[in-house]
Amino acid sequence: MTMNPVHVKICCMASVEEAHCAAGHGASAVGLVGEMPSGPGVIGAKAAAAIAREAPPGLETFLLTSGESAADIASELAICP
């Protein structure tokens, strides 16, 4: 029987330190919560960009957005590629 690796994404990272901690405990990805109308974990695109830029090698980052139009999403991606 071949075992496939388990990939885990931890959401709502609020700092570079949290992203490094998640990676150190085996996470393969982290979620960064961009501008939202409400809800926990919102850090905004500029903070998300800083975390994504300084994430350890091999850790994937995902920007969660409430943008609904291509233009809204593109403007967030311009800040947090």
Q: What is the pLDDT of residues 44-75, one digit of tens each?
A: 778 999 999 999 999 999 988 888 899 988 88
Please provide the distance, in angstroms rounded to a whole number, between the alpha carbons at the two ends of the chain: 39
Statement: the pTM of the whole predicted model exceeds 0.85: no
pLDDT score for 44: 78
d(CA 6, CA 25): 13
Crossing angle of the two packed helices 45-54 and 70-79, in degrees rounded to 10: 50
